[in-house]
């Protein structure tokens, strides 16, 4: 630490009223921690199986009431044991090298979900563990209690070899454990004790305990405090865990604990419980096509990460998992690979961020020997082309991914025609997202935030139909739909062939709508050329119809009469109504009043204006609207589209580009 930086930190600490003479901060040795917290140290041995091979000397000392010596011998045992060999790390060369992230953490300045703040310290020198950040968001406090700062500075230590970073971990972990007493032993949603935070802490502690074992940066006292707190963490995960996606995170934490510290009396029982719970959870929350039932790309990845971590933990422990569990994990990876956009990002649907999945998929491809995933993730530069073709449908999820190819500039679309989802849902059935020529064109609005100022402003927009490419009827958006599919969508409602794809879905429950109305949307993709969207509205009375098309913020969008088109240097799209409807066309961008419209959130707590195109018209009765979405590398506006014929079974549409090339396609309606 430089002299100036030390003075700055000293000033920050003194200005917050923190004393350097706090007793708990001075405790480092086994003798000191046994003297300060004898009951907590005895609690370790109450929970250990002292007949475990290698603990003979530990048991002898404990039986003689030599608590301090038993603790020291226990730490010696762990230093020599082969436990958690995967977590033991070669230490970096010692240096005074520093990083801005590491130095910020040394000052108790943390950034969670793009919001940064210095966490206050209370009078006894402890961090204020229930601090909710500058936006008063409990999510911020949960991130703090997950030990995310430890994860960050742990990485910075191994980058730099700076001992201050490792010693900060010692202080942080010791601080949390002492402040966490007494363990509540009940289900909680407090900043300190909630299932997700329990799981994240255990996983981080396993890395700290074993990864820094060969150093003196993590003191004997802190190692022993970790051991004293682990039985409480196991008790919480075993008895107060949640279900669904949260269960996968909580059980992977319990499995980490059971396999990293097998000396605890209940470790075998904990591991057995996690295997049963995770196997049943896999059956409950992952559809046969490999899609997690929340139908939210981000949380699919979260569930997959925890299922896969659990698989790795058991594999390293020599535990064989049921075949259904392992085969479903591979299907989940397959979904992540096959839904990926050409630029390597995943779906932005429901409560998702625009996660970058390419590197994860490449690692999984190597692990599973799936050269088809490698081909997708590498834009066809390596691996082997998928035998199934270019497009993919997931009938339980009700999702269609259409592609023109696997190159970086390929056309790509996502069509949602399935159930609502079991969690983190948006009211957006029949939404369409489109990318082409290396650019996102039509987009989902994103998730914005769950709590705090951003959420208060944008959360309703994020979840509502108005943030998606759907229809509003009499200004009304969709109500929640079925959470879980009882069966896959009918095979008659989708088809993938060499030259085109199509899928169809319907929705008829609109919030607060008088009377009855139903929206049926059919998406037809002419491979490598364009999309045709057919919207059928049935109604029992006259209605106002609004068709929404949201563009990526980077798209420069113009309106010319009934057409809408982008004018970027590369990667463009035209929206052409093909019927004779007289539309009022309006572009809304960054609007706050009278209602939120024209905003986009790429990731949590971020947002920016984007162009929302609103097509409005009045109808007297049942009506059909036809749209052509025509992509091009350079900006074009001369595409023409017209309906050639219409019947109950199909609509034929002729499309002519500005070079007079013609296509005629038949879109099936039944």
220 Cβ partners below 8 Å, 6+ apart? 28, 29, 30, 33, 71, 72, 75
Q: How far is CA 132 from CA 144, 246, 451, in A?
A: 9, 21, 11
Instruction: Give the pLDDT of residue 417.
Output: 97
Tens of pLDDT along 362-395? 999 999 999 999 999 999 999 999 998 999 999 9
Instruction: Give the pLDDT of residue 2.
Output: 39
384 Cβ partners below 8 Å, 6+ apart? 371, 372, 374, 375
C-beta atoms surrounding 651 within 10 Å: 24
Phi (first) and psi of residue 548, to 5 degrees: -105, 135
Question: In the 8-state DSSP scheme, what is residue 141?
Answer: H
Q: Are 399 and 487 in contact (CB under 8 A)?
A: no
Token code pair at residue 77: 């045992």
Percent of the chain having pLDDT more than 70? 97
Q: Are 456 and 136 in contact (CB under 8 A)?
A: no
The β-bridge relationship of strands 572-577 and 608-609 is unpaired
CATH entry, 389-668, from 3.40.50.12280, 3.40.50.1000, 1.10.579.10, 2.70.98.70? 2.70.98.70
- Residue 512 in 3-state DSSP? coil
Q: Is residue 629 exposed (0-12), middle (13-18) or buried (19+ Cβ within 10 Å)?
A: buried
Instruction: Give the pLDDT of residue 20.
Output: 34
C-beta atoms surrounding 215 within 10 Å: 15
Q: Where in the chain is the domain with CATH 2.70.98.70?
A: 389-668
Q: Are 215 and 166 in contact (CB under 8 A)?
A: yes
Q: What is the mean pLDDT of residues 159-179?
A: 97
Q: Give the pLDDT band (50/70/90) at residue 3.
A: very low
Cα 655 to Cα 634: distance, rounded to the nearest angstrom:
18
Q: Are 208 and 169 in contact (CB under 8 A)?
A: yes
Tens of pLDDT along 592-635? 999 999 999 999 999 999 999 999 999 999 999 999 999 999 99
Cα 249 to Cα 197: distance, rounded to the nearest angstrom:
10
Question: In the 8-state DSSP scheme, what is residue 416?
Answer: E
Cα 662 to Cα 627: distance, rounded to the nearest angstrom:
16
Token code pair at residue 273: 């419980």
Instruction: Give the pLDDT of residue 12.
Output: 41
Token code pair at residue 282: 């896999």
Largest Cα–Cα separation, the chain: 95
Token code pair at residue 26: 């001075």
What b/e readout covers 258-267, taking b as 16+ CB neighbours within 10 angstroms?
bbbbbbbebb
C-beta atoms surrounding 145 within 10 Å: 24
Q: Are 185 and 193 in contact (CB under 8 A)?
A: no
Question: In the 8-state DSSP scheme, what is residue 212?
Answer: T
Tens of pLDDT along 262-319? 999 999 999 999 999 999 999 999 999 999 999 999 999 999 999 999 999 899 888 8
Q: Give the pLDDT band (50/70/90) at residue 22.
A: very low
Cα 109 to Cα 106: distance, rounded to the nearest angstrom:
7
Which run of H or of E encompasses 93?
A: none
| Class of the CATH-defined domain 3-240 | mainly alpha
Nearest CA-CA partner of 297 in 253, 260, 335, 343: 335
Tens of pLDDT along 196-244? 999 999 999 999 999 999 999 999 999 999 999 999 999 999 999 998 8
Q: Where in the chain is the domain with CATH 1.50.10.100?
A: 3-240
Which run of H or of E encompasses 537?
A: strand 530-539
Q: What is the mean pLDDT of residues 511-527?
A: 97
């Amino acid at each position: 630490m430089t002299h100036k930086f030390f003075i700055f930190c000293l000033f920050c600490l003194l200005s917050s009223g923190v004393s350097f003479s706090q007793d708990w901060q001075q405790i480092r040795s086994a003798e000191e921690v046994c003297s300060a917290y004898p009951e907590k140290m005895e609690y370790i041995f109450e929970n250990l199986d002292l007949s475990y091979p290698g603990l003979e000397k530990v048991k002898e000392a404990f039986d003689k009431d030599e608590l301090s010596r038993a603790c020291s011998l226990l730490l010696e045992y762990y230093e020599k044991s082969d436990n958690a060999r995967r977590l033991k790390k070669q230490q970096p060369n010692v240096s005074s090298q520093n990083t801005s992230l590491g130095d910020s953490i040394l000052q108790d300045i943390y950034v969670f979900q793009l919001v940064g703040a210095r966490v206050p310290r209370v009078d006894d020198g402890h961090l204020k563990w229930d601090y909710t950040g500058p936006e008063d968001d409990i999510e911020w406090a949960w991130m703090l209690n997950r030990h995310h700062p430890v994860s960050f500075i742990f990485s910075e230590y191994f980058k730099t070899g700076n001992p201050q970073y490792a010693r900060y971990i010692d202080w942080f972990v010791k601080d949390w454990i002492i402040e966490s007493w007494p363990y509540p032993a009940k289900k909680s949603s407090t900043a300190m004790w909630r299932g997700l935070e329990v799981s994240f802490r255990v996983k981080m502690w396993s890395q700290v305990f074993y990864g820094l074992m060969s150093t003196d940066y993590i003191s004997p006292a802190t190692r022993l405090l970790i051991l004293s707190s682990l039985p409480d963490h196991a008790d919480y995960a075993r008895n107060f865990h949640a279900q669904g996606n949260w269960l996968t995170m909580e059980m992977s934490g319990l499995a980490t604990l059971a396999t990293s510290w097998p000396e605890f009396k209940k470790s075998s029982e904990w591991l057995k419980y996690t295997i049963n719970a995770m196997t049943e959870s896999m059956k409950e929350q992952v559809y046969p096509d490999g899609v997690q039932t929340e139908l939210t790309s981000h949380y699919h990845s979260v569930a997959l990460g925890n299922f896969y971590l659990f698989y790795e933990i058991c594999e390293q422990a020599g535990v064989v998992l049921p075949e259904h569990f392992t085969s479903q994990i591979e299907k989940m990876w397959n979904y992540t690979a096959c839904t990926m956009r050409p630029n390597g990002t995943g779906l932005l649907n429901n409560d998702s961020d625009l996660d970058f999945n390419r590197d994860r998929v490449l690692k999984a491809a190597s692990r599973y020997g799936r050269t088809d995933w490698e081909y997708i993730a590498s834009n066809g530069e390596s691996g082997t082309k998928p035998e199934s073709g270019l497009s993919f449908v997931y009938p339980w999820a009700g999702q269609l991914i259409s592609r023109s190819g696997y190159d970086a500039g390929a056309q790509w679309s996502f069509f949602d025609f399935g159930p609502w989802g079991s969690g983190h849902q948006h009211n957006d059935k029949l939404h369409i997202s489109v990318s082409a020529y290396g650019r996102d064109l039509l987009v989902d609005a994103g998730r914005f935030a769950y709590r705090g100022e951003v959420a208060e402003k944008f959360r309703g927009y994020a979840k509502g139909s108005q943030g998606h490419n759907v229809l509003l009827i009499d200004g009304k958006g969709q109500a929640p739909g079925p959470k879980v599919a009882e069966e896959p969508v009918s095979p008659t409602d989708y088809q993938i062939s060499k030259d085109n794809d199509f899928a169809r879905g319907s929705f008829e429950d609109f919030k607060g709508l008088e009377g009855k109305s139903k929206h049926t949307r059919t998406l037809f993709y002419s491979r490598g050329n364009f999309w045709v969207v057919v919207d059928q509205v049935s109604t029992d009375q006259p209605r106002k119809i609004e068709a929404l098309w949201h563009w990526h913020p980077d798209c420069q969008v113009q309106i010319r009469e009934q057409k809408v088109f982008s004018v970027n240097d590369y990667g463009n799209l035209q929206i052409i109504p093909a019927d004779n409807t007289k539309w009022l066309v309006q572009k809304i961008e960054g609007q706050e009043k009278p209602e939120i419209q024209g905003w986009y959130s790429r990731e949590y707590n971020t947002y920016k204006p984007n162009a929302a195109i609103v097509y409005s018209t009045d109808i007297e009765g049942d009506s059909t609207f036809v749209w052509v979405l025509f992509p091009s590398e350079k900006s074009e506006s001369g595409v023409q589209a017209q309906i050639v014929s219409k019947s109950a079974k199909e609509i034929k549409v002729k499309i002519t580009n500005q070079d007079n090339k013609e296509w005629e396609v038949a879109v099936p309606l039944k």
